[in-house]
Structures are given as structure tokens and as C-alpha cells.
Structure 1
Amino acid sequence: MEVLKVSHSSAPNKVAGAIAGVLSKTDEVELQAIGAGAVNQAVKAIAIAKRFVEAKGKEIYVIPGFVEVEVGSEKRTGIKFKVVAKSTGEAVEEKEAEVNKVNEEQ
């Protein structure tokens, strides 16, 4: 999976373009951000990329988590965002399956 590193000075529009570019070739990409400013830029980029990806008939889902990254000789904990793209039809089918499962359990 391709990893995009986001910093506090990253331009959200450029990161969004990179996200959309990767998602046009594959179904997932990971963003890594260390620090509040970097996380803020990553979240903005994901929101912008959502529009780009939706225009191509896909939806994106984001799975956040923690990641340990080496910065120089230091280990730092950052936030990772796994961004997954699914075709709109596939996403709708999954949502319907979830609803049916809940209805069956009741």
C-alpha cells in the first residue's frame, strides 16, 4: 500500500490530488501525520479528495489508527489514516447487507 506523509505545511489540495491519483490506480492509500497541524492538513485533504473520488463513481472510507515512525534516530507516534475506495454500487450493497443483518438479529 502506498504511504503519503503529511506535514503541517502540506497543501491540502495537493495532498487530495495525490490521494485521488493513488486511488485511481488502487483501492487504498495510507496517510501518516505527526502532530496536530499535520493531522489537520490530512483531514482536510481527505475531505477534498472525497469530492474528487465521488466524481469518478466511488466512495471513500477512512480507518484511523496509530503508527510509530522514525524521525532521525527518534521514534514518534503519529496518526495514520487508511483511505479505502469502493465503487458506489459496491458500497450500497455492503450497506444493504449490514441493514439486513441487523434486521435478522432483531
Structure 2
Amino acid sequence: MEVLKVSSKSSPNSVAGAIAGVIRDYGCVEVQAVGAGATNQALKSVAVARGYLAPMGVDIICIPAFTSIEIDGAERTAMKLLVEIR
């Protein structure tokens, strides 16, 4: 599964385009975000991606979960958004 990493400085429109592209190619994508700002941008991106895909008759769902990732040798908790076609 393709993994997209989002930061608090990520552009929601750019991430949404990436989400839509991966959904068109593979049917599912995992979006990871660490921190409140990054999670905010990730959720906005999923909403925008839904708008990008709707005219093509593609409806997506988002399943939130937590995951552990390693950043600079330290283990951190990240928000994982599993986005897939309904």
C-alpha cells in the first residue's frame, strides 16, 4: 500500500491530488501525520480528494487509526488515515 506523509506545512490541495492519483491507480492509500497541525492538513486533504474523485463516480471512505513510526531514532505515535474506495 502506498504511504503518503503529511506535515503541518503541506498544502491540502497538493496532498489531495496525490491521494486522488493513488486511489485511481491502486484503489487505496495510507496517509500518515504526526501532530495536530499535520493531522488537520491530512483530514482537509481527504475531504478535498473526495471532491476531486466524485465527478468520476468514485466515492472514498477514511478509516482513522494510530500507528507507531520511527523519527530520528525515536518512536512516535502517528495518525494513520486509511483511504479507500467505498
Normalized against structure 1, the TM-score is what? Answer: 0.79
Which structure 1 residue ranges, 5 or more long, are not aligned?
87-106
Letter in structure 1 aligned against 2:55: A
Larger of the two Rg values belongs to structure: 1
The structure carrying a bigger helix percent of its residues is 1
Q: CA deviation at 1:56?
A: 1.1
Deviations 1:6-42 (A, max 9, x none): 0000000000000000011011000000000000000
Gaps of 5+ in 2: none
Counting aligned pairs with the same residue, the percent is 49
> Which protein has greater RCO, CA pairs closer than 8 Å, 6+ apart?
2
Report 1:1-106 matches (<5 A).
1-86=1-86
Amino acid at match of 1:47: A
Q: Deviations over 1:55-101 (max 9, x none)?
A: 11110011100010100110000100000014xxxxxxxxxxxxxxx
Residue-pair matches, total? 86
